[in-house]
């Protein structure tokens, strides 16, 4: 499965790389995305959904898909590419639009949640339609388009929001308290130590210089006071 392998080159397969991916995802302006970039983003989201819905076993490598996963991937990955209506191109279809709105919704929820995590406030992720199944490691959300539900409004397939929420919760569980906002550049980062306040040494020394300048500007006055006393 080439698309999956390409996607995990960007997202990584471990929680730390996935966390870095989410932070980068939150910095991106999705309104500027070309249709090709949208498809790439979708494959990356699906890769994270695979990792979220998978039971970690020694027999399955992170780099390959099982045959069931391959089938599920094939269907979900083609959501924005299907010719839903033969009179329209895929991109003109309502399904394409609802798929893209779905991605924008995921972007909004993921960014809001990670933002909340930097403040130390309890994190909440509102979900409208999530299908869960039990597993030894706790409830697992279903992979996009593998289950559906019929309600008064019609039939809805499960989207990627549930599995993405699970992956973000797994990230937050592991890096709770380490996802921070750098006081110098305002960028979000994952601290490698509990006492790390700045995202890198550049920002730390910039802030140090700013403080020093602030001090030296005040110093002459305080020295005069000391001389008199
Ligand atoms: Zn910084």
pLDDT higher than threshold 70 for residue 27: yes
CA separation for the pair 150, 39 (Å, rounded): 27
Total domains in the fold of the chain: 2
pLDDT higher than 70, residue 58: no
206 and 191 inside one domain: no
Q: What's the pLDDT at 160?
A: 93
| Stretch (H or E) spanning 148 | strand 148-151
Q: How confident is the model at residue 60 (pLDDT cuts 50, 70, 90)?
A: low
Ligand 1 center from residue 56 Cα (angstroms): 34
Share of the chain above pLDDT 70, in %: 90
185, 208: one domain? no
Say yes or no to pLDDT of 129 above 90. Answer: no
Distance in Å, CA 183 to ligand 1 centroid: 7
Whether residues 159 and 215 share a domain: the answer is no
pLDDT score recorded for residue 219: 57
Most confident of the ranges 3-17, 87-101, 200-214: 3-17
Residues at Cβ < 5 Å from ligand 1 ion:
182, 184-185, 199, 203
Check whether residue 186 and residue 212 sit in a common domain: no
Report how far ligand 1's centroid is from the alpha carbon of 181 (Å): 8
């Amino acid at each position: 499965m080439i698309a999956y392998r390409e996607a995990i080159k960007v997202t990584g397969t471990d929680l730390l790389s996935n966390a870095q991916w989410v932070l980068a995802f939150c910095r991106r302006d999705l309104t500027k995305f070309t249709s090709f970039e949208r498809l790439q983003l979708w494959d990356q989201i699906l890769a994270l959904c695979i990792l979220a819905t998978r039971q970690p076993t020694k027999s399955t490598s992170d780099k390959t898909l099982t045959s069931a996963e391959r089938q599920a991937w094939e269907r979900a990955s083609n959501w924005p590419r299907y010719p839903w209506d033969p009179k329209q191109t895929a991109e003109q279809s309502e399904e394409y639009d609802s798929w893209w709105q779905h991605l924008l919704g995921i972007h909004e929820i993921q960014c809001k949640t990670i933002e909340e995590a930097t403040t130390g406030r309890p994190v909440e992720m509102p979900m409208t339609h999530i299908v869960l199944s039990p597993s030894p490691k706790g409830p697992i959300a279903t992979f996009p388009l593998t289950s559906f539900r019929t309600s008064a409004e019609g039939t809805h397939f499960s989207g990627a929001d549930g599995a993405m929420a699970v992956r973000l919760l797994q990230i937050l569980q592991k890096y709770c308290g380490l996802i921070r906002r750098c006081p110098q550049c305002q960028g979000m980062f994952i601290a490698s130590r509990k006492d790390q306040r700045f995202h890198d040494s550049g920002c730390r020394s910039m802030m140090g210089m700013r403080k020093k300048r602030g001090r030296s500007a005040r110093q002459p006055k305080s020295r005069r006071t000391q001389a008199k006393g």
